[in-house]
Amino acid sequence: MSAVLTHFNYVAVIVLMMGGLYILLSTGNLVRRMIGLAIFQTSTGLFYISLGKVSGGTAAITLDAVSAEGQALAARAGAEQVARYGVEGVIYSNPLPHVLILTAIVVGVATLAVGLAIAVRLREAYGTIETDEIQALDRVLTAAGQVEPAP
């Protein structure tokens, strides 16, 4: 039971990640692929955040241990835990994964936009964003001598 409880987060995040991978691979539609990729990317972030969570901790914004919030947190976590893992009397979650993922999310949407822009241009050039149809069209055009064959 405890193994289920202690690793549930990791398993759930991996299920999300594989969901993204499946969406990515099971379709030829480029926009749908970008959606799958975005899910994959976000779930990686969720995994990092899961690793950085500390039981009984709070957000990594330092607060006074003697304030009401500090007292409430300490009461919830227990004196022994606070003494062992707290920083100046308060337990915080790990801020480092938060930093990494915060920037990754914004970079993620910027790169998503680049990918979608490529899909838009492909649609304008080929009239479709299904990879199969694009490849078929390429073959036809190459056979007709309208475009140079790919190197």
Partner 1 sequence: MTGYIPGFDANLALDAILLVMLVVIVAAIAATHRMLSAVILMGLYSLVSAVWLVVMDAADVAFTEAVVGAGVSTIVLLGAILLTRGAAAKVSGRRRFLPAVLALGVGAILIYATLDLPDFGDPASPANAYVGRAYLEATGNDMGIPNVVTAVLSSYRGFDTLGETVVIFAAAIGVAIMLGFGERAMADRTIEPLAGGPADHHVVLRVAAKLLIPIIALYAFYVQFHGDLGPGGGFQAGVILAVAVILHALVFGLKDTMAAVKPKFARGVAALGVLLYAGIGVTCIVNGGGFLDYDHLFPRHIEAQIPDWILGPADPAHPHHWGQHFGIMAIELGVLFTVAATMVTIFYGFAGRSMEAPQPGAPRSGAA
Asked if 74 is part of the footprint of partner 1 (rule: CB under 8 A), the reply reads: no
Q: Which is nearer to partner 1, 35 or 71 (by Cβ)? A: 35
Please pick, from the candidates 95, 135, 139, 149, the single residue that binds partner 1 as defined by CB under 8 A: 95
Q: Closest distance between partner 1 and the C-beta of residue 149, in Å?
A: 14
Q: Which is nearer to partner 1, 42 or 71 (by Cβ)?
A: 42
Q: Are 82 and 74 in contact (CB under 8 A)?
A: yes
**Residue 42 is a binding residue for partner 1 (CB under 8 A):** yes
Contacts with partner 1 by CB under 8 A: the residue count is: 100
Residue type, 46: L
- Binding status of residue 98 toward partner 1 by CB under 8 A: yes
Q: SS3 of 142, please?
A: helix
Q: Return the residue of 87, 135, 136, 139 that touches partner 1, per CB under 8 A.
A: 87
- Cα angle 58, 59, 61; round to 5: 115
Q: Which amino acid is at 80?
A: E
> Would you state the structure tokens that stand for residue 47, as one six-digit string?
């995994």
Query: Is 41 a binder of partner 1 (CB under 8 A)?
Result: no
Instruction: Output the smallest distance, CB 108 to partner 1, in A.
Output: 8
Does residue 73 bind partner 1 (CB under 8 A)? no
- CA angle, residues 48, 52, 53, in degrees to nearest 5: 120
d(CA 66, CA 89): 8
Footprint on residues 17-36 left by partner 1 (CB under 8 A)? 17-32, 34-35
Phi and psi, residue 18, nearest 5°: -70, -30
